[in-house]
Structure 1
Amino acid sequence: MIRRVTIALLLAALMATATAASAGASESGQQSRQQQPGERLRGEQRSLLQALEEAGKFNTLLKALRRTGLAEELADGGPWTLFAPTDRAFAQLSDQRRKALLSGNDTAWLRKLLEHHILPGAVPESELGVLSHPQALNGQLRISRTDSGWQVNDVPVAGSEIRSRNAIIYPIDGLLTPFDTTNISPGNH
């Protein structure tokens, strides 16, 4: 009898804890919900990489993703939110910096740089304002709204979101540099 009462009390305590945890999770804000990997985006057939290829303005990014091994990870994983530097963003770098970055000699740094552009979870444009300081795969970002549109770390979002089955992609015409690698980037050492 005491054993049954003890088991019943333990079960009741576990259920109360689970109920409190789920209530706390729903009250903790949308930021934590949106950054959690979840289901595929409905209605989309193409992968993140296919969407980048079809857009035609992310060729340098695609080469960099393949060089670092991130392409394979992003192809089927996710969902993700990718702030995708356009070819124009890479073209704005000095020749020396672009060559140092994309030469293949420092893929660890290039991977860190690219991971700074990727959020876990799919965040649609209608919910970007909820995430003021989201955590990327490498470092924290700052998302803000200006009169001309959204910015990520002061780099403007340069177009509408692009959807794929496992990601939402935001074109940006600049590169986001992780704080912890600023002084050790290729060409600076």
Structure 2
Amino acid sequence: MKITRTSTLAGVSIAALLALAACGDNAREVAPADAAATDTYGMAPAPAASGTVVAVAQGNPDFSTLVSAVTAADLAGTLNGGGPFTVFAPTNAAFEKIPAATRGSLMAPAGKADLTRILTYHVVPGRVDAATLTQQIQAGGGSAALTTAEGSILTARVGADGAVTLTDEKGGVSRVIQADVPASNGVIHAIDTVAMPN
């Protein structure tokens, strides 16, 4: 999917990362300018700004793994806060790319610190909707450095196909497959791969 460049600010929150949410009627896919926004990824719809980023994520079955991870890391309280947050929310399919043994160890009590670090790496303080992110990328000469709640950088770019990608500190690339899912305390962008900090 591609991120549609819109001029409307919808909440984009990731201040408590992984409490990401449902894609809905007010969600916009990231696509080239002037492209029609249609959900071809099959994300479940959700009401606009009907709750916090955590509540929105809880209402979308495509984020059930993320919600479980946020709960295991004790981040729900933070992500239910005032924000605003921009959350780059990995879908269940994104988590499936991580080996099962690794996922299991992260979800165990002994993996809580690592899980928290990974989840907060997906949260950017403030509201960064698709239009704002695209402007930041253009202003940065083709890339934008996003400082996450974890303290490290995600690098955003627009690919040749118009899709926004995020490059993590290990060189992994995730793609925004649905943008501008609104929440009362931020905005969520669904991504297809879990980003990993150094």
TM value normalised by structure 1: 0.69
The 3-state SS of whatever aligns with 1:178 is: coil
Residue equivalent to 2:183: 164
Residue equivalent to 1:135: 147
In structure 2, distance between residues paired with 1:45 and 1:115: 23
Higher helix share: 1
Is 1:126 the counterpart of 2:131? The answer is: yes
In structure 1, distance between residues paired with 2:49 and 2:65: 24
Which has more radius of gyration?
1
Residue equivalent to 1:106: 111
The 3-state SS of whatever aligns with 1:105 is: helix
Residue equivalent to 1:15: none
Q: Which residues of 2 match residues 49-128 of structure 1 at below 5 A?
A: 49-128=54-133
In structure 2, distance between residues paired with 1:48 and 1:69: 15
Query: Is the CA contact 2:129–2:179 (under 8 Å) kept in the aligned structure 1?
Result: no
- The one-letter code sitting in structure 2 at the alignment partner of 1:143 is A
Count matched residues: 140
The 3-state SS of whatever aligns with 2:190 is: strand
The 3-state SS of whatever aligns with 1:133 is: strand
Query: Is the CA contact 2:50–2:56 (under 8 Å) kept in the aligned structure 1?
Result: no
Higher relative contact order (CA 8 A, sep 6+): 2
> Aligned Cα RMSD in Å?
2.0
Residue equivalent to 1:31: none
The 3-state SS of whatever aligns with 1:76 is: coil
In structure 1, distance between residues paired with 2:155 and 2:179: 19
Offset, 1:96: 1.4
In structure 2, distance between residues paired with 1:164 and 1:61: 16
Higher strand share: 2
Query: Is the CA contact 1:66–1:72 (under 8 Å) kept in the aligned structure 2?
Result: no
In structure 2, distance between residues paired with 1:125 and 1:178: 23
The 3-state SS of whatever aligns with 2:145 is: coil
In structure 2, distance between residues paired with 1:55 and 1:83: 15
Mind listing any 5+ residue stretches in structure 1 that lack a counterpart? 1-33, 38-42, 180-189
Is 1:174 the counterpart of 2:193? The answer is: yes
In structure 1, distance between residues paired with 2:99 and 2:50: 37
Ranges of 4+ aligned residues in structure 1 off by more than 4 Å:
none
Identity over aligned residues, as a percent?
Answer: 25
In structure 1, distance between residues paired with 2:98 and 2:119: 15
The 3-state SS of whatever aligns with 1:77 is: coil
